[in-house]
Amino acid sequence: MSLTAAQILDLAPDASSRKAGQDQARPAKWSALGRAGSVIWGEIKGSGATPYRTVADLSGPASKCTCPSRKFPCKHALGLMLVETAAPLAEAPAPDWVEAWTRGRESRAAAAETRAREPEKPVDERAQAKRRQAREDRVSGALDELDLWLRDLMRRGLAAARSEPYGFWDRMAGRLVDGQAPGLARRVRAMPGLLAAQPVAGAPRPEEALGLALGRLALLMRAARRLDALEPEQAAGVRAALGHPVSAEEIAARPGIADDWAVLAHAVQDEDKLTARTVWLVGRGTGALAQILDYGTPGSPLPPAPAPGQDFAGLLAFHPGDPPLRAVLREGRAGPSRGGSLPGATTIAAALDGFADALARAPWTERWPLRLAGVRFGRFAPEGALGVGDGTGSLILRAGPHLPALASVAAGRAVDLFGLYDGYGLEPLALVSDESLYAVPAQDDRPLLMRAA
């Protein structure tokens, strides 16, 4: 199997790595190139006397290089994979260092599988209960403080919030972090950005956006005080929104869902000095939608993930929560896409009903993924904003650098569309036209869409 050049570039940790990877993609720079199945390798001259040895498994994708770079994948791994896309490398016996890397990956995978089958160590239930109670006490104290803060803010009115400095919001967020409610802290830290945003089509006015955010925060706070009255999955969803981590043991106990998962899009953004990567998948058989979320420090390696336009044949396990959405990859393998229409896509009216159902079950939801079938791009109110419509309704599209390119791909035809909806506008992430997926690049500084047949 192979990846497209755009899929490879979307694996880069930052813009400078993408540019440097393209600079390394000239075959003349490489020696000892070869391929064995999905594994490719080569050597490239670096700053030292000894060439760097680079190897990559395109089925992961995964890679390793002997260069000192702390970025993953490094520019040499990106360059090697790009060389393969330009002209497939010749099959050859793998050198010893490549075989050692391959055996190491297989050994680590086998060890992880063995650990998963090992009987669990006895749990110290008393210590566990003590830690749980200590956390609940800290969260309860943070909720009390947040309640007073919200009441004071509402007494003064939303107009007064415009004059508050960033420190006003950051102090409250810091106290929520101390109270072990980082999910609430993230929402509070985002509020001054809502007030500073410039009004655009498909977005609420700043004061309206702040009011919505405060309302969701208050609803989440009320739900957090009523965990005992909620169903287990509902309570788990509230804890996740508060920022409670889900242990590996809890995930291991969750049933796996087997399917051929179409990888729709990657999205990367910075959150509190961390890089957050979201991978969106949809099951071709089940129609289930899944969000794979990984965090890392800027430039650090993130777990390998299938690229947009690939299929992942295997198991996913969903985090507890209602409605279910976040998941983790279990066993499986990435491969070429089967193409076709967008699985689970519906009319706009049906998609909005799904959004309403998600809000009824978790009213603090900020954005929800929609899959639309057979929509056409056009100009809609307000002020002739670009949107999509079908026979059941229309949606405004959030303005972005890749929106004109998506509209040009559609070229007036009916297409399938995937994006995130916040009740005002849809942020498009992928488009399916003529059985080909066009995914918005994870990094907005790349001007081209990715295309996967």
Cα gap 146→243, rounded to integer Å: 15
Cα gap 224→139, rounded to integer Å: 9
Task: Please tell me the predicted confidence (pLDDT) of residue 275.
Answer: 78
Task: Please tell me the predicted confidence (pLDDT) of residue 123.
Answer: 62
Map out the domains of the chain as residue ranges. 5-117, 125-242, 250-336, 348-452
Task: Please tell me the predicted confidence (pLDDT) of residue 380.
Answer: 78
Cα gap 246→293, rounded to integer Å: 13
Give me the average pLDDT of each 10-residue run along the chain (453 residues): 74 83 92 92 89 90 88 91 89 93 84 66 72 87 95 90 91 94 94 83 82 95 94 94 89 91 87 82 95 79 79 94 93 85 95 96 95 94 83 91 90 95 94 90 57 53
Task: Please tell me the predicted confidence (pLDDT) of residue 453.
Answer: 47
Task: Please tell me the predicted confidence (pLDDT) of residue 12.
Answer: 82
Cα gap 60→306, rounded to integer Å: 7
